[in-house]
Amino acid sequence: MSRLCRRSFLVLTCLIGLTQSSFADELYEARVFENAKGEKLHYRLMVPQGYDAKGTAKYPLVLFLHGAGERGADNVKQLVHGTKEFAKPENREKYPAFVLAPQCPDGKRWVEVDWSLDAHQQLPEDSATIKLVLELMASLQKEYRIDQQRQYVTGLSMGGYGTWDLITRHPDLWAAAVPVCGGGDEAVAAKSVKVPVWAFHGDKDTAVKPHRSQKMIEAIKKAGGKPRYTEYPGVGHNSWAPAYADPKMMEWLFAQKKS
């Protein structure tokens, strides 16, 4: 292949990638939620493929919590990692679902704890941002036909912490959870024993140490639960890339339903 042809091929490949990425982003409608107190939260929402507003079918909802680097108020950055996997045509066809991607404001966290610590104690109540997320979810249940027996939560890094925190505080809300490279308070892990969990981490992660996931898994098992855990050898903090791209994870997640 000539140098010109190779250059043209690379440009075409990049353009195709950008087109696919832009198309995935467009599937997520940009919205702003405002509660009765005037507090606002930016979010994106993808509606299930084939959703009929006049129909009767109910659909699952996936709450997706992004990482620290995607905070802000542009209502765009929270779509950088993970969400595009849910928007792939094959996944939308197999697993039609609402995917909710709120954006945590700058200076805030899903869980207001220090991620660099080897352990942390769960705070007395939800963070202010998560309280808004829960209010948002309640409002969407009034707007759309959401199957409350199939509500899932997943998140990466800062969002992994948010995922662990939500299933220990509100276990009855969730049919399953996928925390990626996060951590929680193992002293309260038993509260999530009835929530099916599949956690992921990279064994070379230096941003959030692997033992943060390991200890939560161990605590749930000790309480009688049967969580899944995948630790990727040689992978650093970006364990979300293989985790969300894994078709077995998708199949497992959408197979879960509260009894």
pLDDT tens digit string along 216-234?
A: 999 999 999 999 999 999 9
Give residue 6's pLDDT.
Answer: 45
Banded pLDDT at 157 (limits 50, 70, 90):
very high
Q: How confident is the model at residue 162 (pLDDT cuts 50, 70, 90)?
A: very high
For residues 44-75, one letter each, b for 16 or more C-beta atoms within 10 angstroms of the residue's C-beta and e for the rest, the string is: bbbbbbeeeeeeeeebbbbbbbbbeebbeeeb
* pLDDT tens-digit readout, 225-258: 999 999 999 999 999 999 999 999 999 999 999 9
Task: Assign 24 a pLDDT band (cuts: 50, 70, 90).
Answer: confident
Q: Is the pLDDT higher at 23 or at 28?
A: 28
Percent of the chain with pLDDT over 70: 91
Tokens 């959030």 -> residue: 208
Work out the mean pLDDT of the chain and round it to a whole number.
92
Average pLDDT over residues 99-128: 95
Weakest mean pLDDT among 20-34, 51-65, 150-164: 20-34
- DSSP lists the bridge partners of residue 228 as 198
Alpha helices in the chain (DSSP H): 3-27, 83-86, 89-94, 128-143, 158-169, 211-222, 240-245, 247-255
Q: Which domains does the chain have, with CATH numbers?
A: 30-255 (3.40.50.1820)
What's the pTM value of the predicted model, to 2 decimals? Answer: 0.91
- Of the two residues 22 and 179, the one the predictor is more confident about is 179
